[in-house]
Amino acid sequence: MPCCFDALSARLIEQAGFELTFMSGFAVSASRIGMPDTGLISFGEMLDQGRNICAATGLPVIGDGDTGYGNALNVKRTVRSYASAGFGGVMIEDQEAPKRCGHTRGKRVVSRAEALSRVGAAVDARDEGADILILARTDARATDGLDEAIARCQAFAGIGADILFLEAPRSESEMAAFCEAVPGPKLANLVEGGDTPLLPPARLEEIGYKIAAYPLTLLSAATAAMLDALQALGNSERPEHILDFERLRDIVGFEDYDAEAQRYRIDDEDER
């Protein structure tokens, strides 16, 4: 599951043949407001970005709902709003607000009771009519240890979360322990340079994961390409690795647009 951050990246993921995507909070914060994933981007900004992403692709999209943006009632509003925007799933996590990227230092989590309250509210919103799946995440591995993180995921599964996500396990054995102890579909979050081993998809499936998420791969690749292009331009050179104009037009849909516009063309004779 390559993760997207805007409508174009979502469209590219679909054109590449993947089956689903995830709107990464880190990547949206970086691309939309140019700031770190430390709780600075707002619910409204994330929701607006999500509407554009969901409108640009036919893929199921899981949205980063962070902490739910408040108490249990805020969580329910977040879930309902993400469902209305077109998301197929929403992630709710147990960090304290303001939250931060799961592979950085300085995280803090709420109590297990409050974490269950958040996820329970999300499940209730789903069961009360929001057509969306609930991805329940814990960051307790970094603060309270693996056993507490697994216990939280077990509890999330017990109250009806659809997908379970233990953030930042630090070894293959920890990943396997999580998968063995927790029922239901599970997500592995693979951050280049992060805390979790970058196991190949086949091994992740053997361990027991259902989804392999790559939250920053596209953002990192795009940023590297832009830095290279800017360096070339700064040296009065032409960037080497760019798409030709025809391919770029095709990706964003000029051909499809022109074909549909032709259906509604009015000839000079028709105007008379």
pLDDT tens per residue across span 207-216? 999 999 999 9
Same domain for 248 and 125: no
Number of domains in the chain: 2
Order of strands, edge to edge, in the sheet holding 3-4? 3-4, 21-23, 61-64, 89-93, 133-138, 163-166
Q: How confident is the model at residue 184 (pLDDT cuts 50, 70, 90)?
A: very high
Q: What is the pLDDT of residue 269?
A: 66
Same domain for 181 and 145: yes
End-to-end CA distance of the chain: 54
Q: What is the pLDDT of residue 268?
A: 67
Q: Taking the CA of residue 265 as centre, how many other CA atoms within 13 Å lie in the half-sphere pointing to its CB?
A: 10
Decide: 116 and 145 in contact? Cβ < 8 Å: no
Percent of the chain with pLDDT over 90: 92
Same domain for 265 and 175: no
Q: What is the pLDDT of residue 267?
A: 77
Same domain for 211 and 230: no
Same domain for 50 and 170: yes
Mean of pLDDT values over 250-268: 90
Reply yes or no on whether the pLDDT at 102 is more than 80.
no
Residue 62: strand pairing partners: 22, 89
Domain containing residue 75: 3-215
Reply yes or no on whether the pLDDT at 21 is more than 70.
yes
Same domain for 263 and 198: no
Q: What is the pLDDT of residue 270?
A: 64
Q: What is the pLDDT of residue 190?
A: 97
Mean of pLDDT values over 24-40: 95
Same domain for 233 and 186: no
Neighbours of 221 (CB within 10 A): 12
Q: How far apart are CA 164 and CA 123, in angstroms?
A: 13
Reply yes or no on whether the pLDDT at 256 is more than 80.
yes
Same domain for 169 and 126: yes
Decide: 109 and 145 in contact? Cβ < 8 Å: no
118: part of which helix (H) or strand (E)? helix 112-127
Residue type, 244: D
**b/e 226-260 (16+ beta carbons within 10 angstroms → b):** eeebeeeeeeeeeeeeeeeeeeeeeeeeeeeeeee
Q: What is the pLDDT of residue 211?
A: 98
pLDDT tens per residue across span 50-84? 999 999 999 999 999 999 999 999 999 999 999 99
Query: Which of 71-75, 153-157, 180-184, 267-271 has the weakest average pLDDT?
Result: 267-271
Percent helix, strand and coil across the chain, each to the nearest 5: 50, 15, 35
Query: Which of 60-74, 101-115, 118-132, 251-265 has the weakest average pLDDT?
Result: 101-115
Query: Of 215, 233, 254, which one is at a domain's C-terminal end?
Result: 215
Q: How far apart are CA 7 and CA 248, in angstroms?
A: 14
Mean of pLDDT values over 192-196: 93
Helix (H, G, I), strand (E, B) or coil at 265: coil
Same domain for 101 and 58: yes
pLDDT tens per residue across span 144-157? 999 999 999 999 99
Reply yes or no on whether the pLDDT at 105 is more than 80.
no
pTM more than 0.85:
yes
Q: How confident is the model at residue 40 (pLDDT cuts 50, 70, 90)?
A: very high
